[in-house]
């Protein structure tokens, strides 16, 4: 039960960690464009 309930949390955490470099790149390019 605990593992099953924490699975979405782990997936969300992994998804955020995977998107973090992409967001940094987008923000960096956005600032660099100005």
Query: How far is residue 24's CA from residue 34's CA, in Å, rounded to a whole number?
Result: 16
pLDDT given for residue 7 in this prediction: 87
Per-residue pLDDT of the chain (34 residues; tens, 9 = 90+): 666 778 888 888 998 898 999 999 999 999 887 6
Query: How far is residue 16's CA from residue 26's CA, in Å, rounded to a whole number?
Result: 15
Torsion angle of alpha carbons 33, 17, 12, 30, nearest 10°?
A: 0
pTM comes to 0.44
pLDDT given for residue 33 in this prediction: 74
pLDDT given for residue 8 in this prediction: 86
Q: Using CB atoms within 10 A of its CB, is residue 10 exposed (0-12), middle (13-18) or buried (19+)? A: exposed
């Amino acid at each position: 039960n605990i593992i099953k309930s924490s699975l979405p949390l782990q997936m969300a955490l992994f998804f955020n960690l995977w998107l973090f470099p992409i967001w940094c790149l987008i923000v960096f390019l956005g600032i660099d464009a100005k």
